[in-house]
Amino acid sequence: MSSITIIDYGMGNLRSVQKAFERVGFEARVTDNPALVANADKLVLPGVGAFRDCMRNLEDGGFVEPIKTHVDAGKPFLGICLGLQLLFTESEEFGRHAGLDIIPGRVVKFPQGLQAGNEELKIPHMGWNRMAIRQPSPLFAGVDDGSFVYFVHSYYVVPDDPQVVATETEYGLSFCSSIWRDNVMATQFHPEKSQAVGLTMLKNFGNL
């Protein structure tokens, strides 16, 4: 069985992702060694925190080139939450900051005053919400359209190419909640916190 490698760059609850993969029968290793990242069969980039700090940690840890090499080699890649946003060209969080630029596009903040009916929506967007499947990513095999998944975020991605949008979610506006392009899959929501639906996605990734 091919190995799953989770990048430890000092941001994110890595153990919960590792435990979720173990629950569905896969061995997943957490590493802060860029050489192990470079040799990974399947790579997972989780993350929580500020975009700028995460990019700095990826650069300082020597992870940027191994990530890009992995993606260019066509090997499976999964980004989770900030791990989705980091794939994009730039983020407007606390100024403008360059990302990995693997997926052209930008990361923007939810505007103030979003409403659902007469209710003003809180930012960050936190809790359970539905995802509408726009294209059948391998990640969603056996997952129903409209399934509920778990979110915690104040920013969302806007891809230049709408063809990479795998799911959309409504929160006062319709936003891209996951992407898929070739071997690259990434979710704004947390599969490891999304109970049976999320575990199905992680199992699908492990089986690629």
The residues annotated with a catalytic role in the active site are: 81, 190, 192
Alpha-carbon distances, residue 149 vs 1, 25, 129, 168 (angstroms): 28, 21, 6, 12
- Tell whether omega for the bond before 124 is within 30 degrees of 0, i.e. cis: yes
What are the percentages of helix, strand and coil residues in the chain, rounded to 5?
A: 30, 35, 40
If 0-12 CB within 10 Å is exposed, 13-18 middle and 19+ buried, where does residue 44 land?
Answer: buried
Of residues 63, 61, 60, the one with CA closest to residue 44: 63
If 0-12 CB within 10 Å is exposed, 13-18 middle and 19+ buried, where does residue 138 land?
Answer: middle
Token pair belonging to 137: 């990513």
Token pair belonging to 186: 């990434």
